[in-house]
Structures are given as structure tokens and as C-alpha cells.
């Protein structure tokens, strides 16, 4: 039986849990920030975020080392954000590490440093800050559907005989080169998107060997692909455009085969083709996560019905039977704080597990991300955002704000709506668009374009939470933060929530979170006034007096 250790809980810190975790254990981190380092040698463990990917943050800034350091062993990390300053966010020296749905952020260091014969398999990993994105030195593994954006130097470095397979990955807006292969590096680069580099897109140098297949290199300050003297390379069916001259430079001393294509059908943002096998275990895990949400009985039932239909359609397609056209676009209506964003994320991951969408990535945007400031700018912005979300979910919050206010001709929101309508039809099998907002305003939004309503498969109404649900939500938030309620507090909370007016300003789950923040502040003042060191129970317990102060 797998041992599962929850942090915080019985174990207040991650270090406490790791000290006692047996081999094969799963350490689950509740949402929050953990100011500590993870240093593992010869361990066999899984570290997993309990909430959405990125909700648990291991922040080692100022702690003189990486957020994650693994020496040998077999470690899986799922859904964590790893942050550091002058060190790599993650260092793997030997052993096997699997990173899944993680975000890596470093200051002067790299996002990931793999070395010493290590094998690193990274799926849906995002490097958002660092000197370099991924550095492989005498190491291998697979980089699949990842993103490296905005690092100050090289996006990916492969050196000292390292031989990773880099597949379906975006490398964008790097200060120097997108991918730099040198000192006998031997990577395979398949169906990647390299763009916006300060120098060349891909450089192969110093006796290295590379195979670059169906990769799009574009908008680079230097040449698109450079093959240096003494190197061997196969550049096959790649698309190279909007680069400095020459688009592909092969040194006379190199051995290279180059075939380019003007149209390789390459999706944007590293999206790989759909049609992957269904992951039954992942589908059940996600449906269990959906069921664990408080309230939302109607929404849960509608999501399950959609998933059942999609799954059966995929079975029919596999059996050679006809399948009708199905839209994956949805409308979520209701007040803020009712779980719309969380359900949208789970829905995207379900579509990926069903093999309908290739990566299930979640992109949340609002009006300012779509609407430009002059004629023609809005269509360009909206198209760019849409293409970046291909393969996953595009979630447009408060979508009704795109509607032209009072028919004002100077407002470009209508242009964004019209552009979305066309893109949603042209790419209905490649992306799921979810628009969200207040019920009445969303009805007006759908009237802004005659074809808009027909693009969506279903409207889901997220109702306001009742007092009982809000008490349960408050209790869950408190437990995740290692607090307990004193006797009578739950009943008092029920009474308080029952009196709140359910008007337009009612924040639902946000009301519970806001109230608990006030109660924690009240508890702090109460404990400071005790005149003695509080006990562990004192520190954990929220009381009726704290509620009275918070609601005064």
C-alpha cells in the first residue's frame, strides 16, 4: 500500500514529511508557499500538489541552493512551482526524475539543470524566468509539450554528449539563442516552435550531432538554424521564416541534409496532434477531483454528461462508426467565486485525457488581452491569443465586457467577438473556448453576433453557494492552512453566512476566504494579548471571539 503524507497536516513542513517518508511514498502539498529547499539523495518518492498545478510553491529564494536537488534515486514531481534566485530552480545529478505540470522560475540560474548521467522526463513544464531555460550536460530524457519563455540567455542548452528528445515544445523570446547544442551534444528536436530569439534560433556546434524534424523557427534576430564545422545534422521538413539571412547556414566543414517546407501543418505553441490514446486512470482521477468540489451538483452532472458523450464518440470513431460534429466550447454563467475557473481547468485536462485535445493547457484572458487600440490591432491580438491557446482551453472571464458599450463606434470589443466567432468555427477540434460572466450580461453578450451562440455546446449555470456550502468551504480552507474551529464556531459561521445579501457584490467562496483572513488577524491579536507563549492548540484554534472581531 502506498504511503501518503500530507503537508501541512501531521507534518507542518515539507522537510518534516521527507524525513520520515518511506521509499515509494507520495508527499502531497496543500496550496501555499513553502519557504524551504528539497534535497533528495537516493530516494524513491513522489511530490504532488494537492490543488491545481502551480498552487503549491516551493520557494528557495535566499536559501543558498536550488528549490529541488536530486542526486540519484527515482523521483516524480507533479504540479509544483519551484522558485529560486541565483541557483537553478531544479538540479538533477544522476537518477531518474519525472517533472509533470510544473513551473520553474530562477533568477540568475537555469530553470532545470540535468547532469551526471541523469534521465529527466518533463511533460507540460514551463520555465518562466531564469538565465537559461533547460540545461542538459551528459544527461538524457524527454522534453514533451513544455514552454521556455523570456529567459535572459539561451532557452535550451545540450552539451557534453547529452541526448534528450525535445518534442512539441515552445522556446520563445530568449535573450540569446533558442536551442544551443555544443560539445558533442546529440539531441532530437521534433515539432518544436522556436521564435523571438536575440540571436539564432537553433545552433549546432563543436562536433555535435542533431536531428531537427518538422520544427518551426521564426522571428529570430539571427539565422534560423546554424550547423557549425565538424557537426552532423539532419534538418527535415522544417519551416524557417522571418529570420536574418541566411535562414539556414551550414558551414562547409559540416555534414548536413536539409529539407525545408513552406507548410508543415505545425500547430502553434508546441501543440502536438490530437488523437492520442485515452487515459482511463487520469479521467477517473479528474472526475474524482471534480466531485470533491463543494456544491455545484448541477454543473458536475453536466460535465459528466459531456465527458460520457465524448468518450462514447471516441469509442465509436475507433470502431469505424460515424460520429457527428461536437463542439467543446462552453458558456459558464454565474457570480464570482463559484468555481468557474477551477471547473474550466479540470474540463481542459479531461479533454486531454480523453485524447480530444493534445495538451489541455489553460489560458485565462480578459478584455485587455484581446482588444487593441486602433483599427486592425484587435483582430491581430485576438488571433495571437487564440493561437497560443491551441490544444487546450481558452477561458475568457467577464466576456460580456467585449460587447460594444452603447453602440460606441470607437470600441473595438465587437471586432474581438467577430474574430473569435470565425476562429472558433475554423478550429473547433483544436481548442475549447469557455466564456464566463454574470448570467444576464452573458445573454446580452451572445446577442452581439448572430453566429456566436451556435458556437457553444452548452451553458452551465453556477449558482450562489448557500450557508452550509460556505461553512464547508471555510472549513476546508482552514484545514489546508492548519487551523481548526472551536466548538460552536461552525454554527456561528452558518448564521453569519445566512444573513449575507446575495446581491451582485456577493463573492461566494471569496467571502469565506476573506472572512477567514479577518479571523486569523483577530486570532493573532488575541494570542499576542495572552501574556504567555501560546500552545500548539492555541495557535491552531479559531474561536467565536475571532469571528466577532472579524465581522465587527
Reported as a single tens digit per residue, the pLDDT across 305-343 is: 888 888 787 777 767 777 666 778 899 988 888 888 888
**How many Å separate Cα 98 from the centre of its chain?**
16
Average pLDDT estimate for 370-391:
82
The mean pLDDT value for 360-383 works out to 81
User: Could you tell me where in the chain the CATH 1.10.8.60 domains are found?
Assistant: 467-550
Nearest CA to 203 out of 214, 221, 191 is that of 221
Mean of pLDDT values over 30-55: 92
pLDDT at 123: 94
If you write DSSP's letter for every residue of 290-311 in order, what string do you get? HHTSSS-HHHHHHHHHHHHHHH
Task: Give dist(CA 443, CA 364) in Å, integer.
Answer: 21
DSSP 126-167: EEEESS-SEEEES-EEEEES-EEES-SS-SEEEETT---EEE
Band of pLDDT at residue 407, cut at 50, 70 and 90:
very low
Chain centroid to CA 315:
28
Give the distance, in angstroms, between the CA of residue 480 and the centroid of all CA atoms in the same chain. 22
Task: Check whether 445 has a pLDDT greater than 50.
Answer: yes
Residue 480: its pLDDT value, please? 76
| DSSP E strands, 300-454 | 330-334, 362-365, 393-396, 432-437
Query: What percent of the chain has pLDDT above 90?
Result: 45
Percent helix, strand and coil across the chain, each to the nearest 5: 30, 30, 45
Weakest mean pLDDT among 39-43, 190-194, 373-377, 522-526: 373-377
Please tell me the predicted confidence (pLDDT) of residue 2. 66
Q: Is the pLDDT of residue 276 over 70?
A: no
Sheet with strand 330-334: strands edge to edge = 362-365, 393-396, 432-437, 330-334, 458-462
Q: Which helix (H) or strand (E) holds 192?
A: none
Query: Looking at residues 193-216, what average pLDDT do you find?
Result: 94
Residue 455 corresponds to which cell in the numbers above?
Answer: 458556437
The pLDDT value given to residue 195: 93
Other Cβ atoms within 10 Å of 213 Cβ, number: 16
What average pLDDT is seen over the chain?
87
Tally of CB atoms within 10 A around 128? 18
Q: Tell me, what's the pLDDT at 204?
A: 97
Answer CATH for 280-462 from 3.40.50.300, 3.40.50.920, 1.10.3720.10, 2.60.120.260: 3.40.50.300
Chain-centre distance for alpha carbon 248: 33
SS3 call for 284: helix
Instruction: List pLDDT tens digits, range 462-521.
Output: 888 888 989 988 888 888 778 899 999 999 999 898 888 777 767 788 888 889 989 989
Fold annotation for 467-550: Helicase, Ruva Protein; domain 3 (1.10.8)
Distance CA 442, CA 164 (A): 47
For the question of whether the overall pTM of this predicted structure is more than 0.75, the answer is no
Write the pLDDT tens digit of every residue in 101-111: 999 999 888 99
- Residue 323 pLDDT: 67
What is the reported pLDDT for 267?
39
Task: Please tell me the predicted confidence (pLDDT) of residue 437.
Answer: 85
Long-range contacts of 482-485 (CB under 8 A, 24+ apart): 482/8, 482/9, 482/12, 482/540, 483/516, 483/520, 483/540, 483/541, 483/542, 484/540, 484/541, 484/542, 485/541, 485/542
pLDDT tens, residue by residue, 44-96: 999 999 888 889 999 999 898 999 999 999 999 999 999 998 899 999 999 99
Share of the chain above pLDDT 70, in %: 93
Enumerate the CATH 3.40.50.300 domain ranges in the chain, comma separated. 280-462
Average pLDDT for 276-291: 76
Q: Using DSSP, how many helices (H) and how many strands (E) does the chain show?
A: 13, 38
**451: pLDDT strictly greater than 80:** no
Q: Is the pLDDT of residue 272 over 70?
A: no
| The pLDDT of residue 158 | 97
220 pLDDT higher than 60: yes
Pairing state of beta strands 458-462 and 74-78?
Answer: unpaired
* pLDDT: which is higher, 43 or 316: 43
**Rg, C-alpha atoms of the chain:** 26
Phi, psi at residue 318, to the nearest 5°?
Answer: -65, -25
- Check pLDDT > 50 for residue 303: yes
SS3 label, residue 353: helix
Amino acid at each position: 500500500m502506498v504511503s501518503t503524507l500530507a503537508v501541512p497536516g501531521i507534518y507542518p513542513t515539507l522537510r518534516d514529511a521527507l524525513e520520515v517518508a518511506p521509499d515509494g511514498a507520495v508527499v502531497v502539498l496543500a496550496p501555499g508557499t513553502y519557504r524551504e529547499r528539497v534535497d533528495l539523495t537516493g530516494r524513491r518518492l513522489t511530490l504532488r500538489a494537492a490543488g491545481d498545478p502551480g498552487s503549491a510553491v516551493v520557494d528557495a529564494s535566499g536559501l543558498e541552493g536550488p528549490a529541488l536537488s536530486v542526486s540519484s534515486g527515482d523521483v516524480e514531481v507533479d504540479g509544483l512551482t519551484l522558485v529560486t534566485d541565483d541557483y537553478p530552480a531544479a538540479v538533477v545529478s544522476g537518477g531518474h526524475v519525472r517533472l509533470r505540470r510544473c513551473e520553474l522560475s530562477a533568477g540568475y540560474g537555469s530553470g532545470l539543470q540535468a547532469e551526471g548521467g541523469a534521465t529527466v522526463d518533463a511533460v507540460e513544464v514551463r520555465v518562466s524566468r531564469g538565465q537559461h531555460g533547460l540545461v542538459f550536460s551528459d544527461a538524457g530524457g524527454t522534453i514533451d509539450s513544455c514552454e521556455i519563455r523570456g529567459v535572459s540567455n539561451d532557452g535550451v542548452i545540450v552539451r557534453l554528449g547529452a541526448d534528450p528528445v525535445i518534442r512539441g515544445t515552445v522556446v520563445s523570446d530568449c535573450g540569446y539563442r533558442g536551442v544551443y547544442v555544443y560539445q558533442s551534444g546529440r539531441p532530437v528536436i521534433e515539432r518544436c516552435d522556436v521564435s523571438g530569439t536575440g540571436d539564432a534560433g537553433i545552433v549546432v556546434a563543436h562536433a555535435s550531432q542533431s536531428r531537427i524534424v518538422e520544427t518551426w523557427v521564426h522571428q529570430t534576430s539571427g539565422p534560423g538554424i546554424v550547423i557549425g564545422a565538424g557537426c552532423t545534422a539532419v534538418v527535415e521538413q522544417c519551416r524557417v521564416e522571418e529570420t536574418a539571412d541566411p535562414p539556414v547556414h551550414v558551414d562547409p566543414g559540416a555534414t548536413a541534409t536539409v529539407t525545408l517546407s513552406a507548410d508543415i501543418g505545425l500547430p502553434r505553441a508546441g501543440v502536438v496532434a490530437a488523437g492520442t490514446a485515452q487515459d482511463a486512470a487520469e479521467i477517473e482521477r479528474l472526475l474524482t477531483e471534480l466531485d470533491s468540489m463543494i456544491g455545484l451538483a448541477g454543473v458536475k452532472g453536466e460535465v459528466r454528461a459531456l465527458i460520457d458523450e465524448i468518450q462514447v464518440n471516441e469509442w465509436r470513431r475507433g470502431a469505424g462508426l460515424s460520429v457527428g460534429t461536437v463542439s467543446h466550447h462552453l458558456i459558464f454563467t454565474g457570480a464570482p467565486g463559484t468555481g468557474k475557473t477551477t471547473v474550466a481547468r479540470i474540463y481542459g485536462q479531461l479533454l486531454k485525457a480523453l485524447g480530444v485535445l493534445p495538451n489541455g493547457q489553460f489560458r485565462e484572458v480578459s478584455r485587455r488581452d484581446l482588444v487593441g487600440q486602433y483599427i486592425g490591432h484587435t483582430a491581430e491580438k485576438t488571433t495571437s491569443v487564440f493561437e497560443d491557446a491551441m490544444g487546450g482551453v481558452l477561458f475568457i472571464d467577464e466576456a460580456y465586457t467585449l460587447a460594444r458599450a452603447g453602440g460606441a463606434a470607437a470600441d473595438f470589443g465587437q471586432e474581438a467577438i467577430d474574430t473569435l466567432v470565425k476562429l472558433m468555427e475554423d478550429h473547433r477540434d483544436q481548442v475549447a473556448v469557455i466564456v464566463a460572466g454574470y448570467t444576464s450580461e452573458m445573454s446580452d453578450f451572445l446577442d452581439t453576433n448572430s453566429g456566436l451562440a451556435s458556437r457553444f455546446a452548452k451553458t452551465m449555470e453556477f449558482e450562489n453557494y448557500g450557508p452550509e456550502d460556505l461553512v464547508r468551504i471555510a472549513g476546508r480552507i482552514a484545514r489546508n492552512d492548519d487551523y481548526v474551529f472551536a466548538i460552536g464556531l461552525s454554527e456561528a459561521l452558518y448564521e453569519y453566512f445566512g444573513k449575507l445579501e446575495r446581491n451582485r457584490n456577493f463573492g461566494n467562496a471569496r467571502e469565506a476566504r476573506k472572512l477567514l483572513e479577518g479571523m486569523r488577524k483577530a486570532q493573532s491579536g488575541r494570542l499576542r494579548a495572552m501574556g504567555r507563549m501560546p500552545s500548539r492548540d492555541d495557535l491552531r484554534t479559531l474561536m467565536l471571539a475571532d469571528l466577532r472581531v472579524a465581522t465587527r
